[in-house]
Structure 1
Amino acid sequence: MTPEERRDRHLLVVDDDDRIRKLLKEYLVRAGFRVSTAADAAGADRLCAALDFDLMVLDVMMPGEDGLAFTRRLRAKGGETARTPILMLTARDQTQDRIEGLSLGVDDYLGKPFEPQELLLRIEAILRRTTARPTGPRALSLGRCAFEPERGELTCDGQAVRLTEAEVALMRRLARAVHEPVDRLDLARDTADATGRAIDVQVTRLRRKIEPDPKNPRYLQTVRGIGYRLAPD
């Protein structure tokens, strides 16, 4: 991202550790972003009520309402704030927290301890996906739903359906090879989990949004021994 693009983006960092919160703000401000901070979910609520944010950096372990509970409540609210991308910070060995976070709609995660440069790159990757313009078909018909790869938008029965940035990226990747199987580990290379478990979680969530019967998918198919295939009408 250019310095001008960073200046246009406002980030919210939520972490109860004063030292980490201060260091993250200083680093991201030096990188060119506008940054606000909160020490807990209550503080984040107050800021979100007054300001719009392009992305949240959210710690899992916080006193009171933890990061997972906050994400669940935020996503259930609806509206613009509920669609704010979230990068979650977790203890490196807490795999279950990461899987649960993805299932709740977290866009990406980063294990502690981490390099600030990696945090910056992950933030930029999420923000770039919000304005990506991939080539491919204008709209894909998925029964009562439709997905527009260029805009990264999913509608069902004419109503917009929220997708996380990770889900948009996955749908766009599959849309570039409609009716063709895409290797699961190839898809995983674009995530922080090279095992492919994050992809499996995203596919499960997408099926709930797209498929009439998620347990017997018609449009987002599993190709045994390979990966997944998008099969529009």
Structure 2
Amino acid sequence: MTEAAPTHLLIVDDDERIRELLKRYLIKQGFMVTAARDAAQARRLLNGLAFDLIVLDVMMPGEDGVSLTRWLRAERTTPVILLTARGEAQDRIAGFEAGADDYIPKPFEPRELVLRINAILRRAPRTDSAPMGRQTLILGKMRYDVENGELRDGTDPVRLTHTEAALLRILAARQGQVVSREALVDQLGRDRGGSGETAQERAIDVQITRLRRKIESDPRRPRFLQTVRGEGYMLTAG
């Protein structure tokens, strides 16, 4: 019998300290957690990954949490818990009218958040999750099963070399974030157990080019596997 995949949460908060504290605490409670620093990054993640629940800060620079909640409700039914420093009734009403499932004023105890999450999940079926609880990145017509490391063109499997598969797995784990060449070299070295040839940065560039040929409709103008000049590479689903 296949073990059920852990509940996948998306934490969206512009305060890095709060974001990281919540992420660490929730992981210890058995959740799978992805974090976003603002609404724009959250949208990119939501375009490529399925989540079981979203914990969303209201007061953020740029698009605020209430606006993002309205967008979510037009697209999907994923439960939303809003976090805010505001405690006035009107602010709570605005959040609920936007489609939020719950509302927690800051400061709060992380344990209370876990209780609220579990209470909502007991009521809400995981309707927006990928089949069988798997996380799937959508790359145009391509689909990447994060759990199994399988890339498919429609229903047809796409063969990846060991290095291509490792690169895609590393980039998918940090989807929407820039990963430096140095970090890719280091991670590939650990994946190989620290033995054999050490991956070099120029070799990474070659492998990225080969991987693009398999996931991009136009590898010369990549849409999903992007080069961030002077920084590294970024995988962006959608």
> What TM-score results when the alignment is normalised by the length of structure 2?
0.50
Q: Percentage identity across aligned positions?
A: 62
3-state SS of paired residue (1:109) = strand
Per-residue deviation, 1:114: 0.2
Amino acid corresponding to residue 34 of structure 2 in structure 1:
S
Counterpart in 1 of 2:209? none
Equivalent of residue 103 in structure 1, options 97, 103, 118: 97
Distance, in Å, in 2 between the alignment partners of 1:95 and 1:33 is 31
Counterpart in 2 of 1:56? 54
Distance, in Å, in 1 between the alignment partners of 2:46 and 2:114 is 22
Counterpart in 2 of 1:128? 122
Per-residue deviation, 1:92: 4.5
Counterpart in 2 of 1:113? 107
Q: 4+ residue runs of structure 1 moved beyond 2 angstroms?
A: 92-95
CA deviation map 1:155-184 (0-9, x unaligned)? xxxxxxxxxxxxxxxxxxxxxxxxxxxxxx
Per-residue deviation, 1:94: 3.0
Counterpart in 2 of 1:89? 83
Counterpart in 1 of 2:64? 66
Distance, in Å, in 1 between the alignment partners of 2:58 and 2:51 is 19
Distance, in Å, in 1 between the alignment partners of 2:86 and 2:63 is 20
3-state SS of paired residue (1:87) = strand
Partners of 1:90 and 1:98 within 8 A in 2: no
3-state SS of paired residue (1:63) = coil
Counterpart in 2 of 1:15? 13
Per-residue deviation, 1:8: 2.1
Runs of 5+ unmatched residues, structure 2: 126-238
Amino acid corresponding to residue 71 of structure 1 in structure 2:
T
3-state SS of paired residue (2:63) = coil
RMSD between aligned residues: 1.7
Partners of 1:25 and 1:36 within 8 A in 2: yes
Structure number with greater Rg is 2
Distance, in Å, in 2 between the alignment partners of 1:97 and 1:44 is 22
Counterpart in 2 of 1:44? 42
Distance, in Å, in 2 between the alignment partners of 1:97 and 1:38 is 23
Partners of 2:10 and 2:53 within 8 A in 1: yes
Distance, in Å, in 2 between the alignment partners of 1:93 and 1:103 is 16
Distance, in Å, in 2 between the alignment partners of 1:108 and 1:41 is 18
Q: Which has the higher contact order (CA 8 A, sep 6+)?
A: 2
Distance, in Å, in 2 between the alignment partners of 1:28 and 1:59 is 16
Runs of 5+ unmatched residues, structure 1: 132-233
Aligned residues: 124
Counterpart in 1 of 2:139? none
> What TM-score results when the alignment is normalised by the length of structure 1?
0.51
Distance, in Å, in 2 between the alignment partners of 1:128 and 1:60 is 24
Distance, in Å, in 1 between the alignment partners of 2:27 and 2:71 is 28
Partners of 2:12 and 2:35 within 8 A in 1: yes
Amino acid corresponding to residue 75 of structure 1 in structure 2:
R
Amino acid corresponding to residue 95 of structure 1 in structure 2:
A
Counterpart in 2 of 1:32? 30
Counterpart in 2 of 1:177? none
3-state SS of paired residue (1:8) = coil
Distance, in Å, in 1 between the alignment partners of 2:9 and 2:48 is 14
Amino acid corresponding to residue 55 of structure 1 in structure 2:
L
Partners of 1:15 and 1:38 within 8 A in 2: yes
